[in-house]
Amino acid sequence: MKQIFKLVTTASAALLVACGGGGGGQTVATPVTPATPTTPTTPPSTVATLVTSVTPSSYTGQAAIAFAVWDAERSQCGFGLLAQNPALDGAATAHASYSVISGTVAHEEISGQPGFTGETPASRIAAKAYAGSVSTVSEVMTGVNGAVLSSAGNYAIRTLLSAPYHLQAMVDSYRDIGMAFGSGAVGSPFVGDLGYQTAASPQLMAGSDVKTYPCDGSTGVFPELRSETPN
């Protein structure tokens, strides 16, 4: 779980007293009118723009389960819902296919290799015309194999939520999601592409809110993930 550090600053006022020395004459101090205290200006609080309702997705099978678990966890802990986006689906599907063909699970693709659609998540998403270049995007990815294939949707999301760097993206202020599972010799690679279009802006918590994941009421949380890259 990502740690949250709180900086507490204590302001202490010092009382300064000036003393006059001895001498041959009397000095009369000129009275000083104290400054009128001012009321501190409170910065405006950010108004929450969290998404609380989205159109039902068209995902099926394990992808439908993954989408449901992901949005349920975000909603439970107050991070807002993600909406399915066809362009992001296209980018995720293409990269999952590349991963199967290349036998790798990585965010980068190599130009000239079969299935290549872009070297980076941003270039692959741009190739699918997700708001052109006017967007902010991210990608999470993991491989699922062996006995957990039958529950790949739940396993993929909970595995990624237990990884601090991936968790950060998964509960961040994105609005849109695209996802896909591949199927091949490396098992079932899962790709989740996230984004928000600049014109729409990110979804934000209220300025006074503090959110955590896991949170009160969270269940089914995986305690750790040892294979995150970077780790």
Q: Which domain holds residue 71?
A: 61-197
Q: Express each pLDDT in 128-171 by its tens digit.
A: 999 766 789 999 999 998 889 999 999 999 999 999 889 999 99
Cα distance between residue 70 and residue 43, in whole Å: 33
Average pLDDT over residues 32-40: 57
What's the pLDDT band for 16 if we cut at 50, 70, 90?
very low
For CA atoms 190, 226, 3, 72, give the dihedral sign: positive
Q: What total number of domains does the chain contain?
A: 1
In a domain, 173, yes or no: yes
State pTM to two decimals. Answer: 0.78
pLDDT > 60? residue 231: no
85 is a domain residue: yes
Q: Is residue 211 part of a domain?
A: no
> Could you tell me the pLDDT band of residue 224, with boundaries at 50, 70 and 90?
confident
The pLDDT score that the predictor gives to residue 225 is 75
Answer yes or no: is 108 within a domain: yes
160 in any annotated domain = yes
Q: Which pLDDT tens digit goes with each residue over 184-218? A: 866 899 999 999 998 888 999 998 899 999 999 99
SS3 string, the chain, reads CCCCCCCCCCCCCCCCCCCCCCCCCCCCCCCCCCCCCCCCCCCCCCCCCCCCCCCCCCCCHHHHHHHHHHHHHHHHCCCCCCEECHHHHHHHHHHHHHHHHHCCCCCCCCCCCCCCCCCCHHHHHHHCCCCCCCEEEEEEEEEECHHHHHHHHHHHHHHHHCCHHHHHHHCCCCCEEEEEECCECCEEEEEEEEEEECCCCCCCCCCCCCCCCCCCCCCCCCCCCCCCCCC
Q: What is the mean pLDDT of the chain?
A: 82
Q: What is the CATH number of the domain that holds 130?
A: 3.40.33.10
Say if 111 falls within a structural domain.
yes
Crossing angle, helix 61-76 and helix 152-161, to 10 degrees?
Answer: 40
* 143 within some domain: yes
pLDDT (tens digit per residue) in 79-106: 999 999 999 999 999 999 999 999 999 9
